[in-house]
Amino acid sequence: MGKVFGPETRQIMDGATDVIEIPCGSTGVYYSRSISLAYGKYFAISYKASSTGTVELKLEFEQSWVLPTTEGSADDNWVEPESASDINAALADEVWHHESISPVAVPFLRVKITATGANHASTTLQIKFHMQEEL
């Protein structure tokens, strides 16, 4: 077994700006900024929604072999891996959650946030990515 480093924690920001709390209010699809999985062996995500009203979000991760053409936008090269489960199919609270994820061997990852139903316009999401490296 190689030497293990970490865990390293990275704040995942809004795809289009340098905002830590990703705006995902009302309904629609939002994307976090992409991050590199280089040198990682074990992965986890922590996340917490904040809102002055109802939270109704679905969280998935997408992966690609290239960076998105435009951070924060849909991109045909980015898809949810066939073997992946949703990070959270029905997030409706405002507490921290910690989930292990199993990305496929593709170098980049981002979070797809789908706001549905009664999701309030003030809703934001904070996401932290954790990775342990093994050399």
Structural domains in the chain, CATH included, are 4-134 (2.60.120)
pLDDT of 4: 60
Burial 59-69 (b: 16+ CB within 10 A, else e): bbbbbbeebbe
**pLDDT tens across 68-94, in order?**
999 999 999 999 999 899 999 999 999
**pLDDT tens across 10-41, in order?**
888 888 777 889 999 999 999 999 999 988 88
112 in Cβ contact with 31 (< 8 Å): yes
Cα-based distances in Å from 84 to 32, 101, 103: 18, 8, 7
